[in-house]
Amino acid sequence: MPTAAQPAVQPILWCRDHLQLLDQRKLPQAVNYLSCRGAADVASAIHSMAVRGAPAIGIAAAYGLVLALRADVDGYDRAFETLAASRPTAVNLRWALERMGAVWLAGHDLEALEAEAIRIHQEDLEQNRRMAELGAALLPANATVLTHCNTGALATGGHGTALGVIRTGYAMNRIVRVYNTETRPWLQGARLTAWELQQEGIPGQLVADGAAAHLMASERIDWVIVGADRIAANGDTANKIGTYALALAARAHGTRFMVVAPSGTFDLRCPGGGAIPIEQRPAQELTEFKGQAIAPAGYDAFNPVFDVTPAALIDAIVCERGVVMLPTTDKLAALLR
Ligand code: MRU
């Protein structure tokens, strides 16, 4: 039975000798857990998107490192690199591994390493709750919001980032209407966000990605609220493909644009969006649907799965450390100092 401290949706279950991951490829039709027993299993679950969402893959990788070093105390470098290479864009992955690495290299202590992974997991939930309060406080009364991809409990240690703001805003009666994009091609919105909203009893409405600008033109949308996979030092933000188009449409229609992300998503080593690696995934994710061809045989596809929204299009970045309006390099440096 979920409690206040334990969220209803638990995508990551630490079982000490193995890790259980809710297989997000199967949702919403089936709720199945995958068992991971080492770094290779965890890296494969991340790469194949059984577990996805920037904070969630960082948490999973942290537990993966514990499993790897329990099996082979000399396997640090190999396990670190295997996990770090599983997906390139979300910096939370490397951030969590570097945090774990600092603990391991300080004393080669397996108990301390496990405790650090559990701390990373728990802290993420606490940070999400804090960001949810901060983000919800930016909403006007009777707000209508639009979100993209899935940034809920499934993508994090619980509650969610952008979806956490929506959950809390709805619970506070500040939000009257929620729209969420389907998020092609992987359908994180249609499959996962819709499932989470329904589980919470929050009435959402799905919109095709291509309908978002029309929606903003035909109805007042107060805020677009999204998560992030990496925020560069100047505030440029990488997030699920289609986020940039939403930000452009929002600016054109007087809709405000909020990015919600914990401090582990910021990459101050990255000066601007141009330095963020953008993951490209196989053409088949676009040319096929559930194994069935939807494009002519042999037709190629360009499939970047993230894009960069320039800081100039962002009205607010919400982090557990505070809120930055109209982000700049100086404001973000001060926030994260
Ligand atoms: O490819 P995905 O599903 O891992 O992409 C997820 C996103 O883009 C999310 O918006 C981001 O990771 C933030 S999740 C709190």
pLDDT of residue 253: 98
User: Taking a C-beta distance cutoff of 8 angstroms, is the pair 202, 170 a contact?
Assistant: yes
Q: Could you give the angle at the alpha carbon of 124 between the alpha carbons of 151 and 212, nearest 5°?
A: 15
Ligand 1, atom 15, residue with closest C-alpha: 151
pLDDT tens digit at each of 337 positions of the chain: 334 445 577 999 999 999 999 999 999 999 999 999 999 999 999 999 999 999 999 999 999 999 999 999 999 999 999 999 999 999 999 999 999 999 999 999 999 999 999 999 999 999 999 999 999 999 999 999 999 999 999 999 999 999 999 999 999 999 999 999 999 999 999 999 999 999 999 999 999 999 999 999 999 999 999 999 999 999 999 999 999 999 999 999 999 999 999 999 999 999 999 999 999 999 999 999 999 999 999 999 999 999 999 999 999 999 999 999 999 999 999 999 9
The boundaries of the domain holding residue 302 are 129-336
Of ligand 1's atoms, which has the minimum distance to the CA of residue 156? 15
Question: Which of 95, 126, 157 marks a domain boundary?
Answer: 126
Tell me, yes or no, whether 40 and 106 share the same domain.
Answer: yes
Of ligand 1's atoms, which has the minimum distance to the CA of residue 87? 4
Q: Is 227 in the pocket of ligand 1 (CB under 6 A)?
A: yes
Catalytically annotated residue among 229, 236, 267, 315: 229
| First-last CA distance in the chain | 39
pLDDT of residue 183: 98
Q: Is 54 in the pocket of ligand 1 (CB under 6 A)?
A: yes
pLDDT of residue 9: 79
pLDDT of residue 101: 98
Q: Is 7 in the pocket of ligand 1 (CB under 6 A)?
A: no
User: Taking a C-beta distance cutoff of 8 angstroms, is the pair 245, 168 a contact?
Assistant: no
Which of these, 281, 300, 276, lies nearest to 46 by C-alpha position?
281
Question: Which of 99, 126, 153 marks a domain boundary?
Answer: 126
User: Residues 261, 264, 270, 273: what is their CA dihedral angle, to the nearest 10 degrees?
Assistant: -20
Please state, in angstroms and rounded to a whole number, the distance separating the CA atoms of residues 139 and 165: 9
The verdict on residue 1 lying in a domain is no
pLDDT of residue 276: 98
Verify whether residue 41 is a known catalytic residue.
Answer: no
The enclosing domain of 62 has a CATH number of 1.20.120.420
Tell me, yes or no, whether 243 and 295 share the same domain.
Answer: yes
Of ligand 1's atoms, which has the minimum distance to the CA of residue 163? 15
Q: Is 124 in the pocket of ligand 1 (CB under 6 A)?
A: no
